[in-house]
Amino acid sequence: MSTWTTSSLGYPRLGENREWKKALESFWKKNITHEEWKAEMKRLRLESLAKQKQRGIDWIPVNDFTYYDQMLDMSVMFNIVPERFGTFSDEIPDSAYFAMARGSEHAQASEMTKWFNTNYHYIVPEMEHAVPRLTKNIPLEAYRQAKQELGIEGKPVIIGPITYLKLAKGYDESSFAELLDTLLPLYAQVLKELKEEGVQWIQIDEPSLVASFPEKEIAHLEKAYRFFAQEVPGISIMLQTYFEGIDHYQEITSLPVAGIGLDFVHGWKKNINSLNAHGFPEDKILGAGIIDGRNIWKSDGIKKSVDIQTLQNAVPGDRIWIQPSCSLQHVPVTVKNEAKLDPVLKGALSFADEKLDEIKDLREALADGNTALLQKSSDAVGALADSEWRTRARASEKENIPSSRKASFSERRGVQQEKWQLPLFPTTTIGSFPQTKEVRVARQNVKKGTISQAEYDEFINQKIKEWVDIQEDIGLDVYVHGEFERNDMVEFFGEKLAGFAFTTNGWVQSYGSRCVKPPVIYGDVEWTEPMTVKESEYAQSLTTKPMKGMLTGPVTILQWSFVRDDMEEREVTNQIAAALSKEVEALEKAGIEMIQVDEPAIREGLPLKHSEHEHYLNWAVRAFRLATSNVKNTTQIHTHMCYSEFQDMIESIRAMDADVISIETSRSHGELIEAFETAVYDKGIGLGVYDIHSPRIPDTDEMLQMIDRALQVLPPSLFWINPDCGLKTRDIPETVDALKNMTEAARLVRKRWAQEVN
């Protein structure tokens, strides 16, 4: 019998065919009842657990399944519910849960931001005025269901108190210790009830430990886990980290827990060096995150077995759990349905189910010495490495592409003002307009061949004209064509660039029910022909108002794709930037001289260690400039960023040298504006004046308050007025009504400033 143990840290909740998303949205639209929705959620949860059991995983996570977001689940469990959503003496109803996530008619949604350096978004807890209490033991319910329904001795997963508080808002740093004291007894009660139920292992996730964790906060960490050991003696906690290597290795491995989970993929160098230098406690289990939980490439099994043998120099095999580097929620469910991919490429891919198979194969090979299964994976990885896609060795960027504009912003601003003649506080949108069922069906029909490409092009032109007319009626100053021809802001470009492949069902969750299907960058990226000129040129022909060309930036295309793992990300990004520079040039030649190159993901690529920030930002900014600098001084370059904390990278945003940048602020309640009180921003800027991810329609007064707050720190001559993000997911009536309110707010603020000038 093998002494090796396997574990998983989390599993995708979407279902193989996005059943989770479909059920959730049907429930929101009242197409199914609350009971029907709950039944479908239970079915999907049990199906996911059963698949892990079938693969022989020893420690299967429970409570990793959520109705929306795991951080939101923790907030609801501990009654961290902002007052605007109501007060509750018992359990928190689903209506309040979803109102916190999405907003309601009377309450603005809670802030949403990136989960560390991933493309997943979590709902930010609001600690202000919070009165924490345990509303119900959600992990206990998940454990009981798995055991009763499937006979699984599950491993409940909980986000740890340090990470939960560090990711929360609404308190001063000086209050951290007090809030921790409030939460620890509630955590202990959850742990105590789990132990009394017979739970053998509990996974407590503390990914904050892999970021630049201040030494002064070690005391909080030690206090929390000493408290758990004292209040719930004998509890077996696996303290789980992921996404990077840990600092303060000796302090963390000395905590009174039964196991420590470390990332030996993205944190291999740091963690293995610490392991070799300091050893590993003899009374603890090492959770060895050896299979990449964030990318979709198959591991070379032979090399992974060598890595595990390296770990055995410090920890015997019977105290090592073989597991993914992080939760598998960041990858699609299974490769088995990807019938359209090239066999060599498909053979080198591994999604969630296949990664669990890799873990099983490693255990079996290590147990009996039979490396045949591992050799099969090594051969598949080698076949891709030896393919023409990976061996052409083409230069990663063209030397003749400029990386800076011909003139400074102050010089460009004058000639652009003369050219465009825009009013004070110009209004625009971020790019996309509602993609209705009619639009989606037309896209499906052209793919199926039930309508011709010419018929589809005519349909797209009709939608463009319809929305040009709507923009005219609303009274916007700068138009967009609406992006009706685009399925996704990254996938669309990947389909037109060399070096990309596309899955049929490779969906992952971005936020809530919003799913994305990231392209796969498997080879060198090249521009082959114009990608956006046809639609932009047609849209511009319909109006005398400026029409923005819309592109996705090189860093965002990288971050929102599954990226080849044989080349540095910087090199891949430069390839993408070189390709986009040709598209920018093509747009300009076609008369499109306002061009927006969106980089909503530039911050999520920021390394978790502060010491690595400068290097990343330097090449990320340079990639943007490579893509956008080959234009005339009169051509106005816009960019857009959303749902991230930019306070610590204002200088890098300025260095991008875009003429206009739009940034989300509405969900963060204008907190980003505070960054401009200490850092002067001297280029055009639009701070989003309403949240497009919520179905509520803010009134003009609400938008005016946001505008007035921004104008306390930003010059009116550089200020633009726009929504937070693209309007693709919104309904037509709410989009039109919100934009009318926005243009009315712009009219009122113009009138007020004109009176002040006079």
One-letter amino acid of 19: E
Half-sphere exposure of 34 (CA within 13 A, CB side): 4
Phi, psi of 550 (to 5 degrees): -125, 120
Picking from 351, 259, 284, 8, the residue whose alpha carbon sits closest to that of residue 146 is: 8
Residue ranges at the known binding site for L-homocysteine: 430-432, 483, 598
Phi, psi of 41 (to 5 degrees): -60, -40
Half-sphere exposure of 699 (CA within 13 A, CB side): 4
Residue ranges at the known binding site for L-methionine: 430-432, 483, 598
Give the Cα separation of 551 and 596 in Å (integer): 6
Helix (H) or strand (E) holding 362: helix 352-368
Cβ distance 630 to 637 under 8 Å?
no
Cβ distance 646 to 655 under 8 Å?
no
Cβ distance 191 to 200 under 8 Å?
no
Residues shown for the chain? 758
DSSP for residue 530: -
One-letter amino acid of 362: L
In this structure, is the dihedral angle defined by the CA atoms of residues 157, 163, 164 and 167, taken in order, positive or negative? negative
Give the Cα separation of 535 and 123 in Å (integer): 36
Give the Cα separation of 614 and 649 in Å (integer): 10
Is 693 a catalytic site residue? Answer: yes
Picking from 719, 728, 651, the residue whose alpha carbon sits closest to that of residue 688 is: 719
Rounded to 10 degrees, what is the CA torsion of 370, 374, 380, 383?
-80
The single residue of 266, 481, 638, 693 carrying the catalytic annotation is 693
Residue ranges at the known binding site: 18-21, 114, 119, 430-432, 483, 514-515, 560, 598, 604, 640, 642, 664, 725
Residue ranges at the known binding site for 5-methyltetrahydropteroyltri-L-glutamate: 18-21, 114, 119, 514-515, 560, 604
Give the Cα separation of 24 and 127 in Å (integer): 27
Give the Cα separation of 594 and 635 in Å (integer): 6
Helix (H) or strand (E) holding 707: helix 700-711
DSSP for residue 322: E
Query: What are the catalytic residues?
Result: 693
